[in-house]
Structure 1
Amino acid sequence: MYVNDLIKKRSFKSILLYVCFIFCLFCLDSSCPITLSPSRVAVKYGHSVSINCTADGELREMGWESPQEGIGVEMANYLTWSVTNLTTEEALCFVNMGPDQQCTQRADIVLYNYPETVNIISNSTDGFMVEGAVYHLICDVHGVVPAEKVSVMWYINETYFQKERMIYFSPSRTQDRAEIRCEAHMDLMPEGPYINVSSQIFKINVNCKYICCNLICLKMYINSTAPLTRNDSGIYFVNTSGLAISQSSVFYISCFFLVQVSCSKPNIDEIKESVQMWFKTNITLNRTNNGVDFFCGAVLNLPEIQAEPNQDLTKSSPLNVTVYYLPSINTTKLSHTVPVFSGYAEDLKCEADGNPRPEITWTADVALPPQQPNGLISVIEKGKYTCKASNPYGSDTHVVEVIEKVDYLPLIAGFVAVTVVIISMIFIFIYSIYYKNTKMRRYNLKNPKLGAHNGNVAHNGWDLPLPMTKL
């Protein structure tokens, strides 16, 4: 329902967008430092889209205005607008340059949808036409967006003969049982696909006004529409032809008799013969289809013969496809902010998917360290480092902000060491007091008496035995 409404409103909407675009050309400052990547994109209705808006120079206030997933004002150099289910072509990136000064850039989006049906409409009755009469044929393309990008091509028996939505057709007897079809073409390249959808076969049956055969006399064609007279006596050969067979008859015409020649078409239901048929389809490829084998298959289905339950499918030889696509950086392994300790190196590795294989380069607003293979650099300085992955079909960028983080480990280790020393000294002090009070004894001299020397004590004249009492 939405696609049909979009088709009806598109002409007015296109005019309005065009007027706004012209107005913006006169109002915008030519020095507006905005770059959109990609600059133009074609997206299928309901699919995802992602557009980067980059502002040159220093950090600025920037944002996205859109009916879907709009982004408010942020301080940044770039801002990505992403939508997973796109239903609008309206998206505008803006940058605030200063007080009451703003520059904008509108995204160039083409929202498209494949044709729902392609049918042939005719004023003939079930394909029956009279030779020489004029009929109109309309190629009805329903549900396609944008309609102004669609062109039509007509084929009769697989031979191109016209390029208009509605054609006028006057059949001849030689076109009896001819097959007519139309194709809807929509070219959105290089940003989008090339779409080609064909209608069903429209078979025509031509009814002749006169005899649908030729009379040959002495190898000369005779006008079979003119009556024969006695002056036309002789031998006549009548050739009749149908879809797959022909018949010949010999007639003798005298000065006395008039002969009326009539022809009949063969019964084609009795004819069985091999035919060549072709079918085509349109496939939108993406990166997941790279290296995939495609093939088609056919099964013979005859109404008068009951098909076997497990009839084999006749397959064609495989067609291996190579899909080229622009790079996409793996942001799950490379975050937007990376802390680094002062004096220590941190590895930044940029990985990207693309075909052909993308080339990885790094740039930075500080001194850039040497780049190693496979998109690896070791950084020790804070700053903004930009990874760019590029191949012949496009590029993708990712900015990593490296911030400096204070290493508290030496301080913590020193604090622990000092604490251990202090605790050890307190323990030694307490232990020394405890040892003196419990392990050592105090003695005082009380009532000293000089006694005789015994044999257990050696005397040298200086040592005196003094009796001591325990306190």
Structure 2
Amino acid sequence: MQKGTFPLTTSSRVTYMRLMLLGFIFLCFSLLTGAQDECPLQLDPQRVVVRYGGSVEVNCNTSVAHKGMGWEASEGAVPKTNDSLITWRVSELKEWDIKTLCYINLKYKIGNENPCKVELNVTIYKTPDSVSISTVNHRGPMIEGQQYELQCDVHDVAPVQYLTVKWYKGQTLLHQTTFTDTIETPVNKAVTLLIRPDRADDGAQYWCEAELDLGAEGPQPSPKYSSEPLSITVYYKPIINETKLPSVVRVFRGYPEVLVCEAEGNPKPTISWSLGTNSTVHSTNSEKLNITESTPENVYCIANNSVGSDIRGVNVYIQDISISFVNHSGAVIVGKQYELQCIIQNVDPSKSVVVRWYKLSQTNSTDANTTSVSNSSKLQISPSKTDDGAQYWCEVEGTPPVSSDCLNITVHYKPIINKIKLPSTVPVFRGYPEVLVCEAEGNPKPTISWSFGANDKKNSEKLNITESTPENVSCTANNSVGSDIRHVKVILKEDYLPLIAGLIAVIVAFISVIFIFIFSIYYKTAKMGHYSLKNAKPSAQNGNIAQNGKHNTIPMKKLSQSSILA
């Protein structure tokens, strides 16, 4: 005996042979019965979708030996033939419940001698004649919030089991309905949709669509038929625009405000205003109301139409803007600091306002200062004398900006004496009085006084100075703010001018006498001198010329005896 083998007894071998025989018999039986259950026919196509009245053509073929095959149909039947390929044809199919079978008589068959058959799946369809939409038991506009029923009618369509009805609002799919009916003939179908429109649906268009989805064998794309759109009108009660009409309105005194009450509603609402408790202004076109300082604190806007109404209450606050000094009244003093305040009454506590400060001075220049506050603004000022008569005001930024009244300030400052007109030293000639002028600038206008001597005083801007005036005088300018003093030294001088003038006159006269004397001497000697004819000799060149003993010749004329006697 080899290692790893087991010996079989005679009984074991018999049992093994029996099991093998039973298995072989079972296998043969299974192969015979399986061949009997499967029908060796192929349909091309296996399913047909035909429009009512359309043509159809289907092939039936086999690859096994047979004793005849054919088509059984109420239309287009094909008698039994020994061919392996036969065709069922119908040029105009109009039988809704047609049953079509391809059969074959097998040549080798055990048991039942009936032919095997394969049924052709035939679907005949018809698109709807019309698709329409309407409202159920209602006409005219719809009311917001109420429920309405729409109906879609699909007429004469088959088969209904492939029908889908879709509802649309605009381009938005709302709902779709399918059917489980197995009716093959055309039917009418009515599908309803419940809607509850709101104001956004006013003018919306609803429509329905009937689609026949016949599968891959049917027409592509699937036939779709739509209704005409149904436009709906939705009536809804008014809603007042609270953005344009706030619940609190603040109006500056002297600056009228216009309230605008706009309401959205259908039909278009009428607007009315209720002022206070008894006064009512009503107008179908009056969306605006002018608010002034005389308007009552509480006003109401009422929007009304056939569906309902809306009311909006408005609290009117009259705002004042004022400017004043803080803890001060009257004129201000140069060099001191003061505080101005701008008060805005009835400001919304949740908001801040922008306040601008302005000053118009005598130089016609405007300064501005901006600050953001809740209900008041303050400004520190330190006026100079050029600010006397300046105007301050504050302005609240807005459209238009709102300004306070102007605050005119009066600036007081102590006097300042004009030192140019009143020098510190004044010379005075004896016998010639002098007038001193003391002018001072100050506000209030200062009083002028002169002090000279021990107790002598004079209230005047001018002071006459004579030789009896003391050497030291003082001018004092005084007002409610302060004073200024100017000391003047008077220097008395002798007047030597007449003496000098007389001396000059004597000297001029003396010089004049001397000049005249010298001139007369010169005139006698040079112009009117002596001429001597003694020892005069005629000139050799000219017998008529005589000499006076000098180099100068004197013209001479020889006279005859007769000329001399004559």
What is the TM-score of this pair, normalised by structure 1?
0.43
Q: Work out which of the two has the higher radius of gyration on C-alpha atoms and give 1 or 2.
A: 2
Structure having greater relative contact order (Cα 8 Å, sep ≥ 6): 1
Higher strand share: 2
